[in-house]
A and B are shown apart, each in its own frame.
Chain A
Amino acid sequence: MQDRTELIRQDFPILQRTVASGAPLVYLDNAASSQKPVAVIQAMDDYYRRYNANVHRGVHTLSEEATAAFEGAREKVARFIHAPHSRQVIFTRGTTESINLVAHTWGRANLRPGDEVLITEMEHHANIVPWQILRDQLGFTLRYVPVTDQGLLDLDTLDELLTERTKLFCFVHASNVVGTINPVDELVARARAVGARVLIDGAQSVPHMAVDVQALDADFFAFSSHKLCGPTGIGVLYGKRDLLEAMPPFMGGGDMIREVTMAGSKWNSLPYKFEAGTPAIAEGIGLGAAVDYLQSVGMDWVRAHEQEITRYAYDRMSEVEGLRILGPGPEQRGGLIAFTLEGVHPHDIAALLDRSGVAVRAGHHCAAPLHARYGIPASARASFYLYNTTAEVDVLVEALHKTQEVFAL
């Protein structure tokens, strides 16, 4: 497995660099954003060098080529997540915009006072704040599934929380803090039993495991490109076709219309109804290349590799005195570990780890309610990807010991 990882590492030129201290980079901030393989960088470079043009309108050679590449990327993404049709793959700016799109369109058309939207305590702010804003405007009720001390959703509360008043159940597939991979099958079945629609935040799952949106039976599924080896500025909203067809448009402008007169307009077909304005063309092409790259490696291999690294890291980090890991054991989690270290603030942990070349995230990871639930203002987080090694985990653990020495003064 490590031999394969060595080959994979050669695809990511950035992994060869050192940080300010001179130490070699150990990049463990993949849950925030992943690094990009040469194939992705080249695909975007190629578009700008050889066939840069706007899509969907020009009839000249460059526009034809750009449209073919951009729409080809949509097909690749559709196959990657097993969407029935690429029309159901809507390009957005990222997970955040995907969720906001659903709130602004489906939410406005379907939610009214007396209705309930159910989310969970372990959501990223991107799956909390849009619903709070909409609640304040429309007057529905927003409820939260609590999280247990072990970092699991408290499923015992669903009997009380999921009722015929629940119109939408939004939850994260894999947590960006406690790492928990939620039992989607059970959650969707419970939602179906009361007739609620389901929105799944897949920002931390699609990059790390094989995802089949049809098998999951998601009504809406959102994720970002930049966490799965692709560029920033583009992401995906998948939706069931009948829902997308019935939804009003998101933003108005070019590309999203079929017909415009002074009196009014008619909307374009899917997915363009939701894609006003010139899209992120290079980014879409880059995302297509990222999906190709991950499929050439194999998502099952990626998952197995991360499980091995995470299990190793969980054991080694558990040996560090005063280190507390948030969330469940390695079996129930994705490839990340958030933690606190007694007597050292997470920002200081991250700053001191950086001296050893180790890049981790510190803060509340855009999940302030979850940190409040655990009574801590912030945590540090090491998150792994296909190019990380157990040797890098050793560097992390060694750097954690050094951090403790500095603060033991």
Chain B
Amino acid sequence: MSDDLYREAILDHYKHPRQKGHLAAPDIQFHDHNPFCGDEITIELKVENGIVVDAAFDGHGCAISQATASMLMEEILGKPLEELKALDKEYILEMLGIQIGPVRLKCALLPLKVLKAGVWGLEEWPE
């Protein structure tokens, strides 16, 4: 794993986000933010027969949170919803290919938190 938080792939996804925007008629939509830093992520999914056929994210925040969301959208296309329920912290860190300290970890995990809340059908995160 690289110790460079700002390796090229992350900066590329930050500057040129994939799947950014909104879907016409999403089946799943969830939004959340990080109150400490103000990062915001909305994720929308189009689902057919339990498979993600389209995915989009919108939001603003630091390079880590936004690049992670962009990478995650590409990763989940074509995957069954059930598989998304099992995604965890290690999956995200492997996808990013970097080591992250405790403070920035919350930036990297925000998109996963939003995705899983949507997939599990939460109205909002329990307090």
Contacts and interface: CB of A to CB of B under 8 A. Distances in A.
Given A351-B104, A407-B11, A409-B12, A378 B63 contact: no
A345 interface: yes
A150 B117 CA distance: 41
A406 B37 contact: no
B8 A348 contact: no
Interface residues of B, number: 19
Given A345-B62, A345-B63, A348-B63, A378 B37 contact: yes
Interface in A330-370: 344-348, 351-352, 362-364, 368
Contacts of B40: 377
Interface string B12-55: 10010000000000000000000011111000000000000000
Interface residues of A, number: 17
Contact of A378 (B6, B15, B38, B66): B38
B101 to A, nearest CB: 9
Contacts of B97: none
A347 B107 CA distance: 10
B38 A377 contact: yes
B11 A345 contact: no
Contacts of A345: 60-63, 66
Q: Pick from A351, A364, A406 the residue with the most CB of B within 10 Å.
A: A351
B5 interface: yes
Nearest to A20: B101
Contact of B8 (A346, A364, A409): A409
Q: Pick from B5, B40, B62 the residue with the most CB of A within 10 Å.
A: B62
A373 to B, nearest CB: 14
Contacts of B5: 351
B36 A406 contact: no
B11 A377 contact: no
A378 B107 CA distance: 14
B62 A348 contact: yes
A378 B5 CA distance: 20
Q: Pick from A344, A362, A371, A409 the residue with the most CB of B within 10 Å.
A: A409
Q: Pick from A346, A348, A363, A368 the residue with the most CB of B within 10 Å.
A: A348
A348 B38 contact: no
Nearest to A343: B15
Contacts of B38: 363-364, 368, 371, 377-378
Interface in B36-90: 36-40, 60-64, 66
A406 B61 contact: no
B81 to A, nearest CB: 31
Given A345-B61, A351-B104, A406-B6, A363 B11 contact: no
Interface in A239-263: none
A363 B37 contact: yes
A260 to B, nearest CB: 38
Nearest to A362: B37
A409 B10 CA distance: 11
Given A377-B60, A377-B61, A347 B37 contact: yes
A345 B61 CA distance: 6
Q: Pick from A344, A368, A371, A377 the residue with the most CB of B within 10 Å.
A: A377
Interface of A: 344-348, 351-352, 362-364, 368, 371, 377-378, 406-407, 409
Given A345-B61, A347-B104, A407-B11, 12 more contacts: A345-B63, A346-B62, A347-B64, A351-B62, A351-B104, A363-B36, A363-B38, A364-B38, A377-B40, A377-B60, A407-B15, A409-B15
Interface of B: 5-6, 8, 11-12, 15, 36-40, 60-64, 66, 104, 107
Closest 7 CB pairs of A and B: A347-B62, A345-B62, A377-B38, A348-B63, A409-B11, A348-B62, A378-B38
27 contacts: A345-B60, A345-B61, A345-B63, A345-B66, A347-B37, A347-B39, A347-B61, A347-B62, A347-B64, A347-B104, A347-B107, A348-B63, A351-B6, A351-B104, A352-B6, A363-B37, A363-B38, A371-B38, A377-B38, A377-B60, A378-B37, A378-B38, A406-B11, A407-B15, A409-B8, A409-B12, A409-B15
